[in-house]
Chain A
Amino acid sequence: MLEYLALVYVRHINKSHKLYVFTLAQVDGGRYSLSFTWANYWFKNKTVYFGDWVVVANTTLSGYYAAMSRAVDALAKKWQASDKQYKPQAYPQMSQALREISRAVAGTDIDKPLGRGYALVTDFVWKVLAGALAWGVASGITTGITAYYVHRDPWRATRCGFLVGGITTISAFVSPFVAGMRAVHVTDATGMIVVPLSIYAC
């Protein structure tokens, strides 16, 4: 039987700025074999968002948070060094929160050795998710209805609508995340993943 530890930290900085840290760690024989953390800084009217991965190995739960805190701090300094106009907001707040969690966890009964920990740190704008969802739902409904009139098969129409709606939502949502990549790779991946799935479902 698999056992997990879930840890949720929320800080309401002000009306439009909130910070969330979600951790899920797999308990395995008195230690954590694997853990994943999503640390997210939420802006109400933000127009830009970023994400970075952090990987930590062979430490304790408090050491994992401390390492994440140092990593986020280093990332903020790195971005600041790349652009003098850039004024870090999200990453310093995240670093501080992770440091606080590390101190709070240290010495408690949940502070056990950890094999490997992953973290995704993001600052996020709700408008992108809302827009992607609206766009995906519209695409899914249109495609589903059309598929029903063509095939007269409710199951196939549902499958097709969900697939196209899902793919559209995901691609609209992740496109800003992949904006830093060469779009030609995104293009090829789209062709190889979306096309066979859509042909199969619709």
Chain B
Amino acid sequence: MLNRLIFSVAFFTILIGVIYLWLGVAPLVVFLTVVVSLSGFLTAVLLLMRRLDVSTEKALETAAPGYFTNLATQKLFVEALLTGDFWAVASAVAGILLLAFFMPYSLAKLIIQHQTKTQQRDET
């Protein structure tokens, strides 16, 4: 299962990178997009393992949907950072904090909490 997840993460990272390059996006932007998204993903995995005490597999599994979404959206924020315009940089920083770093952890936490509670089936 862990191998399947790692393959899935690597596969989508390479695929999206290639799509960006094929669409004519600058290699620096593609590289930074992957770096920002991957940083948020790894932060989420570490936070999930430390704060919710879940296994590496579970943390990777639940943080991955947020990571993939970020691979597709963070390019915009990286481009905004590179413009140097104050408001563009300000909105990009807000977007990176919200979507790249907070979103994968928050989404994964929600999934894990509901998985736990669903098992309890305490109210329906």
Contacts and interface: CB of A to CB of B under 8 A. Distances in A.
A50 interface: yes
Given A179-B111, A184-B4, A187-B64, A143 B124 contact: no
A186 B124 contact: no
A28 to B, nearest CB: 35
Interface stretch (A97-105, A111-119, A188-196): A188-196
Contacts of A150: 76, 79-80, 83, 88
A195 B114 CA distance: 25
Interface in B59-118: 61-62, 64-65, 68-69, 71-73, 75-77, 79-80, 83, 85, 87-88, 91-92, 94-95, 98-99, 103, 106-107, 110-111, 114-115, 117-118
Highest count of chain A CB atoms <10 Å: which of B87, B99, B123: B123
B109 to A, nearest CB: 10
A194 B80 contact: no
A171 B99 CA distance: 13
Given A149-B87, A179-B111, A195-B16, A48 B69 contact: no
A66 B65 CA distance: 40
B69 A171 contact: yes
Interface residues of A, number: 54
A90 B75 CA distance: 45
B26 interface: no
A184 to B, nearest CB: 6
A184 B5 contact: yes
15 contacts: A46-B123, A47-B117, A85-B120, A86-B121, A88-B124, A123-B123, A142-B99, A145-B87, A146-B77, A147-B76, A150-B79, A175-B111, A175-B114, A180-B115, A184-B1
